[in-house]
Structures are given as C-alpha cells and as structure tokens.
Amino acid sequence: NGYVNHHNFSDFNLQLNISTPKIFVLNTKQQPDAPFYGDGFVSGNITIEGDMNKLSFHGDDLSTQSGTVFCLPISFADKAYASDVITFVVPEDVKNLVEEEQAPENSMEMDFDFIFNVTPAADIKLDLDLSAFGGRIKTKGAGQLHFTYNTKKDKINILGDVELQSGTFMMTFAQLLNKKFELMPGGVVSF
C-alpha cells in the first residue's frame, strides 16, 4: 500500500509499504570491481519513499529465502587483516577509476538500509584472493546482517555475524596446492 503524488506528471514523490512472503531484491553479476554479487530473495516489510532526486529503501526485519546466493569477493581488497572483522581497503587504482566515472549530476540518488535475518536457506560465498594464498568459502548459516549502501557516496557497509552451520573451504596456495576442508558448525564469520 502507499501513494504516488505528482503535479501535472512532474515533481513526483512516493511512499510505498511492501509486505511480502518472498521478493527478488538482488540480481547482480560478477564483475572485476564489484564489492558483492548474487541473487537475493527475502520476506518481510520494505518501505520505499522519496522523490525524483532521492529514493530510500528500508527494511528492518527481512529474512533470507531459498534461492539466495550472496557472494563477497575479497580479492578487490588491497589489504586484509586476520582479526574478528574483515577490513577492506580500496587500492588507489580502483579509487581513481571510480572518481573518473562519477554518475551524472542529474542521476537519482538511492539509499538502502536493510537488516537481514540470515537463514540456512541462503548460500554465502566468500572469495579469497590474497597474493599467493586464496580460496573460496561456501557456507550456510544463521545470523543478522545490517546492510547499507548509497549510490551517490558509493559506500557499502555490511555489519553483523553469521554462525556457520555447514560448508566447505577450498584453499589454494600459489596455484600449486588445492585442498578442500569441511567447515564445522559453530564457527562465525564477522562482517
């Protein structure tokens, strides 16, 4: 439910409240500089409001549904630290390229603020590519993630913890060694 207002088909503004058992909210393909990609299906309540300059999308109690595959490549990070938090640092080359390709001034700003209850119905993939060492973690788990993104600022934040219930880690070392490890329940991935 909601409304869409306009003045002679200009100066649009809207407020929509969506309540759904399953909606397709993410459909992005893997690209070299993409901070994330995959398909996402969620249930819950989503609010969309704004005007021709800015739209805001908000949901604070969404749950992942079957068909969700969220991939987070860590290869675009210049540095990664072993700690309770994964820290991403954008290399200067990518930062300069992003600054050169700024969106036109008349493009609409979109602001996303979602809190997801991650369920075992979702697949989470973490692609690691840190110099000679790399691999892929494929896992299912449960937890809560807070995702924010603004198209003008081009800034993504993902905060929260996912407790692993099952999965694998395919480790590679200097393209010489490939070893598959089974993940034990109880491990935690912190964002």
**Is a pLDDT exceeding 80 seen at residue 32?**
no
pLDDT band per the 50, 70, 90 thresholds, residue 189 = confident
pTM higher than 0.95:
no
> Which residue carries 């109690």 as its tokens?
61
In this structure, are strands 123-130 and 155-173 parallel, antiparallel, or unpaired? unpaired
Q: For residue 189, give the nearest of 90, 131, 123, 115 by alpha carbon.
A: 123
pLDDT above 80: residue 20:
yes
User: Which helix H or strand E contains 96, and what residues bound it?
Assistant: helix 92-100
DSSP secondary-structure letter at 100? H
Mean pLDDT of 66-77: 78
Residue 120 has a CB neighbour count (10 Å cut-off) of: 14
Residue in the structure block whose two tokens are 């860590």: 74
Distance CA 121, CA 143 (A): 12
The string of pLDDT tens digits covering residues 160-177 is 999 989 999 888 876 677
d(CA 148, CA 159): 9
Structure tokens at 27: 């459909």
First to last CA, the chain: 34
Contact status, residue 124 vs residue 116, Cβ threshold 8 Å: no
